[in-house]
Chains A and B, each alone.
Chain A
C-alpha cells in the first residue's frame, strides 16, 4: 500500500496511520493548491456499529516547506472532538441522517483547523524543555467547530450521501476550503499480488515461481478512508507570497508532507473512560512520497522513520541509492532485467525524484528541485498548470508534467510509476549511457485492457475534495 500499515508500530494504530498524501494545483481553481492527507486505512464500509472516525487524541498536520531547507515554514493542524448526543443507545444513528444537523445522528465529529507559521512548525507543541527552546510561531485558527460528515451507512441511514459530503465542505476565510471525513479510497493497488513475492499478475508467467498471466486485481476498490483536504491559494504557500508563472522560477516549488502525533504520556485508568494524557506531541506517522517508508525503508528502520522529520532523512539516503526492490526484481523475474541487474551505481535518479527534486536540465522546462538537502517530501511546482484534457495516469513518465512526481494527483498510478522508476527506467535521466530494460517501461499491476476499469469512474469527483463519496456499508459487503 502507499503507506497503509507500512510500519510495525503504526499498523497497530489505524487512526494515526497516514496512508496517502496528495498535492496538486486544483484543476478547477488553478490559483489554488489542493492538499489531501488520508488516514484510517482499509475501511470495510459495513464496519459498524462504531464506524470509522478520526482520533480525538491524535493531532494531524499537513506541512509546507517553501524554501527548500527540509523544514516546514507552514503547517495546517487538525484537532478533533467527538460528541455523543445519546449515550443510552448502541446506535450510531437512530433514524435517517438527512443533514449534518440531524437529530438522528448520534455520534458526530467536529474539528478545529489552525494555520501555524514560523521557522520550523514541527516545533508546534512538540518541544521538550520548552522554556529554553520555545520557537517563535504564529498561529491562526481558520475554523472551529467544523462538522465532519457521517460515515456512509446505507440507504436507510444516509439516503443522500453526496449532499452530506457537500455540506461538509467548509469555506474558510481567504478563499480556503476544508473537508474532513470519510471518502472512497483513491489509491489502487493489487495488494494480494505485490506482497506475494512481488507478483505482477499480467506478467506472472515470467516470475521465478510462474503461473499463467491474469488480470490485476484492484484490491482497494471497495474500501474507504478518512480524508483531510484543504484548498489553499497558491500565494499563501509560496515563500514570497507570489503566484509563480515560470516553472523554473526560484519560488515555484513547495515541499509537502503530513504527519500524525500523539501526546507523550497516556494513562489508562479503569475508573475513567476519558483519554488521560499529558506532555508534548510525539510524531508517530508521517508521509511524503508514496511508498517511501513502505518499499524503500527496511523493516528495522520503519518505526524510526515515522518518528523523524524530513530534515533528518540524510540517514535514509543509502536505502534510496540502493533500493532493495531494485535488487529483487532481477531475482524474481529471471532474465527480464539484465541491465538493472548489472546496475550497481547509486541511484541518483531516485534520490532526485524522492529526496531533492528533479533539477532543471533533465526534462526541458521542468524542475521540482528544492536543493541538496535530502528530505522525503512531495514536491509540487505550482507554476505548472493542471492538465485538464487527457491527463496521463503515469504522470511525468507519461509526458504529463502536472502529475507525480510533480506533486501527486488522486488518480496517478503510483505503483506503476514507482515500479518503473525502481526498475531503472528513470536512471537514464542521469546516465545517458544506461539503457533501461525493455520491461521497465511496461511494468504495471494492471493489464493495458484494464485502464478503463481501474481505478474506475466513480472513484473520484471533479471538484474538491476530488476523492469520491465513500461506499456505503449496505451495498458493499465486507471483504
Chain B
C-alpha cells in the first residue's frame, strides 16, 4: 500500500499536504494571494486547541522569509517550497508580544 493512502482509499495527511502544496505553488506562480484564491480568511482566528497534538503533526516553518521559502515536514517527508503568500501568512500569524527569557 502506498505510504500516502489509507486502507480505505481515503486521503492521509501526507497526501493532503502534497496536494495542498501543489495548489499553493501554482497560485503563487500567477501572483494571486493563496488565501484569497482558496477562499480563506486573510488572517487566522486565535482559538483554544480543541484536541491533543496529533502523534505526527504536519509542521511548517519559515526557512527564509526574504526568499519566501517555507519547509513543510510531514510523516517521513520534508519539502521546501517557494511560496511568498504562505510565508507572508505564516509571519502574520506568528505570535507577537511573547515573553522573552533573560539570557
Contacts and interface: CB of A to CB of B under 8 A. Distances in A.
A137 B99 contact: yes
B46 A79 contact: no
Interface in B55-70: 59, 61
Interface stretch (A128-136, A241-249, A314-322, A378-386): A128-136
Nearest to A265: B59
Contact of B96 (A81, A131, A144, A278): A131
B41 interface: no
A59 B95 contact: no
Contact of B98 (A81, A137, A280): A280
16 contacts: A79-B102, A112-B102, A124-B99, A124-B101, A125-B99, A127-B99, A129-B95, A130-B95, A130-B98, A131-B95, A132-B46, A137-B99, A141-B102, A144-B102, A265-B61, A278-B61
Given A77-B101, A81-B103, A278-B61, 17 more contacts: A59-B101, A79-B101, A79-B103, A112-B102, A112-B103, A114-B102, A125-B101, A128-B49, A129-B47, A130-B97, A131-B95, A132-B46, A134-B97, A134-B99, A144-B102, A267-B61, A280-B98
Interface of B is mostly: loop
Contacts of B40: none
Interface residues of B, number: 15
Interface residues on A, range: 20 to 34
Interface in A90-146: 112, 114, 124-125, 127-132, 134, 137, 139, 141, 144
A128 B48 CA distance: 9
Contacts of B61: 265, 267, 278
A139 B102 contact: yes
Interface string B76-103: 0000000000000000000111111111
A81 B95 CA distance: 26
B91 to A, nearest CB: 13
Contacts of A267: 61
Nearest to B97: A131
